[in-house]
Amino acid sequence: MKIGASAWIWTSPLTDGEVERLAPHAAGMGFDLLELPVESPDDFDYAQAARILDKAGLDRTICAAMGPDRDLIHPDAAIRQNGLAYVRHCIDAAARVGAANVIGPIYSAVGRTWQSTAAERERDTEMLVRQLSTLAAYAQPKGVTLCIEPLNRFETSFLNTVEQAIPVIDRVGSPACGLLLDTFHMNIEERSLGGAIRAAGDRVRHFHASENDRGTPGAGHVPWREAADALKSIGYSGPVVIETFTDKVKTIAKAAAIWRPLAESQDGLAREGLAFLRALLG
């Protein structure tokens, strides 16, 4: 497995200067991969980032930031169209930067919650399947996979669990559409992390190793051995990325809810988390 770090650990938004600074910094710590959030389409140059990351010897992924005007199942058609255009941009960004995955809650704006009847949920699910099918067809020829992330109940009311996400992935039925699982969200929503990972099986294409408080992996109460054993049992060999946030993050600031320091330093969080995951995963 390649172990990565989200650029959100250190900075927001990600700019050309920050890519140039963070790539050798993360590589020097021993990371294999840097996750690149696209908060705005013009934040950084993708071709230039590819050259910098290649020089640092780092793999990379693209992280979608689903803000209020980026939503694939919103009642407002204009917001849905903007969401589609934004995700297409992220797919293009991934192709230009040399990333295999575009990851995130690629269905609704982070922080949007609403009550649904069973009929309304099925209507929205059908809409999402159509939207993701279109996007997966766009992504597949470019060698890019969409990795759909269930979030906790405070950040979305739509996909909270693996059980809810599996039918969406299966109905899309494309090799360019899989799952991203994040231990922070799973620790809130899943009765068993190991059981959820095993149920997801080969649909898992990306994994976020996040502590229960968004602090240093291994310093909290996430059942890490259970998660590691489950990943091994499904034969997972994809990226494992530490995702937490600087308090500078704006796009999803309210949902991320980083109101206090989570470690003595962001570098310390990254280094100690990496050492923990190397020992855990081998």
- Active site (catalytic) residues: 149, 243
Give the type of residue at 8. Answer: W
Give the type of residue at 36. Answer: L
Nearest Cα residue to 131 out of 174, 98, 180: 174
Please, is 82 exposed, middle or buried when counting C-beta atoms within 10 Å of its C-beta (0-12, 13-18, 19+)?
A: middle
CA distance 211 to 193: 13
CA distance 8 to 129: 29
Assess contact for 34 and 3: CB atoms under 8 A.
no
